[in-house]
Amino acid sequence: MAAKVLYDRIKLTRMAVLQLPFGVLSALAAEIYLKCLLLLEAGQFPKTTHNLKELFMQLPRVTRIKLEQKHDEIRANHPAFVAQNDASADPEDLDSLLELAQESFVELRYLYEQDATRMRGSVFPLLLFSICVRDRILEIRPGWSDIPPTFPPH
């Protein structure tokens, strides 16, 4: 929910200072959604990693394929993501995006401890990825659909 509030505020005010906390919350949301899906589909809850690609690769193969297909479909057809595709140098395929953003939470949350040039990409693609993962969770647990998303709906 906080990521959505920041997202809305950034759209209204164009305040760049809000982009860092938005990025941290977006990366954290993606991680928590992945861990929830891992618990639902594989009965495991990895506690020691924030790595999005590592978490994604632990999902059953059929789930990864479904998420990739959903990601590609939304990225190609949703106006907000189509516009972002045109304005961004971020890769379009999910595997490359996860490679680029796999450590986003740690990199952004602890940015003050690191060289800012280590940042490898935008967190905007994590919104789309989070949407895909959340939608898969709601397919499994439709009763959870009343819980507000942590990002703008698609």
How far apart are alpha carbons 24 and 110 in whole angstroms?
9
Per-residue confidence (pLDDT) for residue 77, from 0 to 100: 80
Tokens standing for 25?
């919350």
pLDDT at residue number 11: 66
Q: What is the pTM of this model?
A: 0.78
Residue 153 domain-assigned (yes or no): no
pLDDT at 33: 94
Domain containing 12: what range? 2-146
H-state helical runs in the chain: 2-13, 19-42, 52-57, 61-77, 79-87, 94-101, 104-109, 124-140
- pLDDT, tens only, 97-145: 888 777 777 777 766 666 555 555 555 567 788 889 999 999 999 999 8
Is there a domain that residue 142 lies in? yes
Query: 152 lies in a domain?
Result: no
Q: What is the mean pLDDT of residues 22-42?
A: 89
Instruction: Kindly state whether residue 35 falls inside one of the protein's structural domains.
Output: yes
When divided into structural domains, the chain yields a total of: 1
Per-residue pLDDT tens digits for 63-98? 999 999 998 888 788 766 655 555 555 667 788 888
- Whether residue 74 is contained in a domain is answered as yes
Q: Is residue 151 assigned to a domain?
A: no
| Mean pLDDT, residues 37-58 | 92
Does residue 46 lie in a domain region?
Answer: yes
Residue 138 within any structural domain of the chain: yes
